[in-house]
Structure 1
């Protein structure tokens, strides 16, 4: 007798197809972006991992598993992948200048070994998969049934996954807390990023509480049918998705790099007498500077200078130079050029005629003054030519 398939609810459809698609697209974009930071790569990998888990969960629930036996056990190795990927995402967000080390590669050993042991099952007869599925359905549990596929029983294997996942989530949370305690000045001027990391790791801990409660049978998740409670297992992933949706500029390599490298206390060069109160001024100057640029658009003047801008916002040239360097990790000329480039991007998005303008015309209308200055600025800030830069932006819309 064929199992009765469950009807998709609106929430289930949104979760299984809309959210998973967004995460998959974001993940592919971040991973394939040339020259991206390691933090961006691991964020992208975490998006792809959760996308795969959501899609495969669709086939496990609602009576669909017996119809798609080849999907059985595919998600199991991903559960070993999520922990180290999440931890390394946090690690390289906090320490972007550090290189990938051998000890970090070792973290992926359980994922590799588990994938290897499942290969005979994946490529084996479909009858073996159906027999294993029927055994699992008889016990009505993805955890507590006498599986025959892996070296460890499903129950022991689940215990190992939970222990490792808890370790990585705890390690990530401790890493963030220690960083904040050690770099209190950084906290004052990087609240968005550090609050992101704190929310991500805190909700990761909360998710582990629900997962442990489920494994122990305290909470009755129905793992053979979709349940709203299942969403609680992915709270941390939803934080990352929400951050990217609220600030899509993070998908741009240059913007992501500026944000993350502001945290880099190991390589940032402070003023000799720098202190928290002095740094507080730079944040105020940055606010004043952004308001001036947004309202008056002085960057459209090709003769705009450091002196003119400093005079307009009422600070010294040294203070202005220090503000763009510390707050944006950019020299003053690059800061101005970034506004000019963004101005062109906005105009090309909202006015179709701007997409037909030559580079000479774009340079003139945006304050660069010359085509060569325009080309040099795009190459320095984005590592490509204006034509390639705008072509990529157009394809991402």
Structure 2
């Protein structure tokens, strides 16, 4: 009989994570959200398939045997690409990124004859698993490599991606710490660090050091999914970070060490500006008021129910921008995001871009780009296109 923890883990959590993954994949958003959605779907599949491989159910559902094996070569590159596009949201999909999935394709290809083969072959392999009481250390004959060696290859594959991802985040912190929102960096550091820790528990599973390689559910199984659980927690806490426009504006936030306080601004007041900034970002990400050419400091302050003085000081302290420049930065980033995701936007004239993004006029767009980036709109958007 299933315990409450098993019931929640195998059915409730897996279902919610799977639905959330589908939502991220199907909704309009940046590439990072697509890979995170796929990551959650993989997480869901691993939980469900693990349920059918434990508790004596393996022999009842022989057709599901080894179905989850290729997933171990799929999850690491998906997690890596999620981190990659979170750190470099403007970059396009490249051919080399498709090669990351080659181990998954090769392993899936070698298993296809087994999947569509006779039931007797599946049962013979399952009998070996039950005889040796292990999903890792038994004399299987289905794959090119033995189950033990194949498990070690999966471990190495996962470890390499976890280490590279952690190193990539670390290098970005060292080189471009002020470019990214601190919350995003904390998310990436936590995720990659726990990915490395999860590798330790996966290694213990493969090597049989920790005694939960026994065809039964164990609470220690949850340790292998620490990174996935934390990822889910971060997204649920700040879902707006996966909105393309929101992320692009959030990267403009200043690091605390580079913010300039005014005389008389104590810690409580500065903390208050942090809260106002969160409200402001959420409002701009969800409602997109910057698309209104008539948007003013007074309108925004009234909507957020704060004073115009506090709102003006918030944008100056948190972003080192006056309110008009803060709004224009969202408008500019909106154009960049739309041009990257919609080819029609690349053909629009500057007059059309200005109208659709809230500038109202070509001159307004030109003045904003020149003030914030020191160049013309044509040169700025051409450079952004080259970077992507």
TM-score normalised over the length of structure 2: 0.71
Shift of 1:247: 3.3
Please say if residues 72 and 154 of structure 2, whose CA atoms lie closer than 8 Å, have aligned partners that are also in contact: yes
Shift of 1:223: 3.8
Partner secondary structure for residue 76 of structure 1: coil
Aligned counterparts, 1:230-309, within 5 A: 230-249=221-240, 256-262=243-249, 277-278=258-259, 287-288=275-276, 305-306=296-297
Q: 2:79 aligns with which of 86, 98, 110?
A: 86
In 2, Cα distance between the equivalents of 1:144 and 1:292? 55
Please say if residues 306 and 332 of structure 1, whose CA atoms lie closer than 8 Å, have aligned partners that are also in contact: no
What stretches of structure 2 of length at least 5 have no aligned partner?
263-269, 283-288, 302-306, 336-355, 361-388
In 1, Cα distance between the equivalents of 2:164 and 2:280? 43
- Identify the residue that residue 13 of structure 2 maps to in structure 1: 19
Q: 2:204 aligns with which of 207, 210, 213?
A: 213
The verdict on how the C-alpha distance between 1:288 and 1:161 changes in structure 2, with shifts beyond 3 A counting, is closer
Please say if residues 285 and 320 of structure 1, whose CA atoms lie closer than 8 Å, have aligned partners that are also in contact: no
Q: Does 1:117 align with 2:104?
A: no
In 2, Cα distance between the equivalents of 1:20 and 1:248? 19
The verdict on how the C-alpha distance between 1:292 and 1:23 changes in structure 2, with shifts beyond 3 A counting, is closer
Q: 2:324 aligns with which of 318, 321, 324?
A: 321
- Identify the residue that residue 367 of structure 2 maps to in structure 1: none
The verdict on how the C-alpha distance between 1:205 and 1:288 changes in structure 2, with shifts beyond 3 A counting, is closer
- Identify the residue that residue 38 of structure 2 maps to in structure 1: 45
Shift of 1:283: 9.7
Shift of 1:87: 0.6
RMSD between aligned alpha carbons? Answer: 3.7
- Identify the residue that residue 217 of structure 2 maps to in structure 1: 226
CA offsets per residue over residues 230-256 of structure 1, 9 Å max, x none?
000011110111123333445xxxx62
The verdict on how the C-alpha distance between 1:229 and 1:289 changes in structure 2, with shifts beyond 3 A counting, is closer
The verdict on how the C-alpha distance between 1:205 and 1:246 changes in structure 2, with shifts beyond 3 A counting, is same
TM-score normalised over the length of structure 1: 0.70
Shift of 1:307: 7.1
In 1, Cα distance between the equivalents of 2:33 and 2:271? 25
What stretches of structure 1 of length at least 5 have no aligned partner?
1-6, 335-375, 381-397
The verdict on how the C-alpha distance between 1:130 and 1:286 changes in structure 2, with shifts beyond 3 A counting, is same
In 1, Cα distance between the equivalents of 2:117 and 2:309? 71
The verdict on how the C-alpha distance between 1:319 and 1:200 changes in structure 2, with shifts beyond 3 A counting, is same
In 1, Cα distance between the equivalents of 2:333 and 2:56? 60
Shift of 1:101: 1.0
Shift of 1:303: 7.0
